[in-house]
Structure 1
Amino acid sequence: MKRLQKCCCCASTRTGSLITASLGIILSIVTIITIWVADKHYVSYRTFIFAEDFDKKLSEMDLPRIFLTVNLCFTILICGLLIIAVLKRRSWLMLPWVVLGIVLAVGLLISVLHTSITYYLDGQQHALLATLILIGGLIYLCIYLYLWAVVFSQYLDIRDEEERGRYRKAPYKR
């Protein structure tokens, strides 16, 4: 993969990494608030592993909300580590975000495809919604992968800097 030199053609990968981490924290906090403020009847959790009545029991006990909240708290923690890593120039602190980012991208792709296919299979009344979810989800995935590539490029730059020494000049190209 070729390293990115700029984020959005105007900012450095360092600034882009800081913005990405900040966005991760903000979106996680907004999602936590939404999960707990939204009425239970408008939010549906399905496991597709257990029976439907078991899913209802889980939802009544708020286990899906608690599980999602814990996951989002870890996302906030890892984004905080990314901010510290970029500011202190420590590549090993960036590694959890890089790994989590690619795992979340795969999960996002699966989620978008599953949700849109489920709505397509429900019938014609949900075809427009399924198309919007598919197109919007894929656009969101592309933006997410671009921001992941920005952070990964910054990670590689910091890792290379640590390997050759901070104050040594870059080796000459032959």
Structure 2
Amino acid sequence: MGRLQKCCCCASTKTGTLITAVLGIILSIITIVLVWVVNRHEISFRTFIFAEEFDKKLAALDIPRIILTINLCFTILICFLLIVAVHKRRSWLMLPWVVLGIVLAIGLLISVLHTAITYYLDDQDHVILATAILVGGLLYLCLYLYLWAVVFSHYLDVRDEEERGRYTKAPYKR
């Protein structure tokens, strides 16, 4: 994979990485607030693993909301770790975010496809909604993958710098 030299054609990958980490923190906090503020009947949490009755019992106990909140708290922690890694120039501190980022991208793709297909196959006429979810979700996935590539490029730069040493100038020969 080729490395990106700039983020959005004007900022360094370091700046892009910091912006990505801050965006991750902000979006996670907003999501946590929305998950707990919005009425239960307006958001549907389903596991698709258990029977529908058991899913309803879990939702009544707020188990899916609690699990989502814990996951988002870990995302905030990993984003803070990414900020520290950028300032200290430590590639191994960036690695959790890089791994989490690609796993989340795969999960986002599966979620967008599943939701859109479910609405397309629904008995009611949700074609416009399904198309909006599909197009919007895939555009969001592209943006997310671009930001992941920015962070990954910065990770590779920092890792290479650690391997060869901070200074590339040869010492004076006497």
- Given the alignment of the two structures, is residue 67 of structure 1 paired with residue 67 of structure 2, yes or no? yes
CA distance in 1, matches of 2:169, 2:160: 12
How many residue pairs get aligned? The number is 170
Tell me the TM-score normalised to structure 2 length: 0.96
| CA deviations over 1:62-118 (Å, ceiling 9, x no partner) | 100000000000000000000000011000000000000000000000000000000
- Given the alignment of the two structures, is residue 122 of structure 1 paired with residue 122 of structure 2, yes or no? yes
- Given the alignment of the two structures, is residue 103 of structure 1 paired with residue 98 of structure 2, yes or no? no
Q: Which moves more between the two structures, 32-41 or 42-51? A: 42-51
| CA deviations over 1:18-47 (Å, ceiling 9, x no partner) | 000000000000000000001000010111
SS in 2 for 1:125: coil
In the other structure, the counterpart of 2:43 is: 43
Tell me the TM-score normalised to structure 1 length: 0.96
Residue 124 of structure 1 and its aligned partner are, at CA, apart by 5.3
CA distance in 2, matches of 1:123, 1:116: 13
CA distance in 2, matches of 1:168, 1:130: 53
Spell out structure 1 runs of 4+ moving beyond 6 A. Answer: none
User: Which stretches in structure 2 are left out of the alignment for 5+ residues?
Assistant: none
Kindly provide the amino acid, as one letter, of the partner of residue 141 in structure 1.
L
Kindly report which structure 2 residues correspond to 1:1-174, keeping only aligned pairs within 5 A, or say none.
1-123=1-123, 125-169=125-169
CA distance in 1, matches of 2:47, 2:26: 27
CA distance in 2, matches of 1:123, 1:12: 49
CA distance in 2, matches of 1:100, 1:36: 24
CA RMSD of aligned residues (A): 1.0
CA distance in 2, matches of 1:67, 1:156: 32
CA distance in 2, matches of 1:169, 1:149: 29
Kindly provide the amino acid, as one letter, of the partner of residue 4 in structure 2.
L
CA distance in 2, matches of 1:123, 1:111: 20
CA distance in 1, matches of 2:157, 2:51: 49
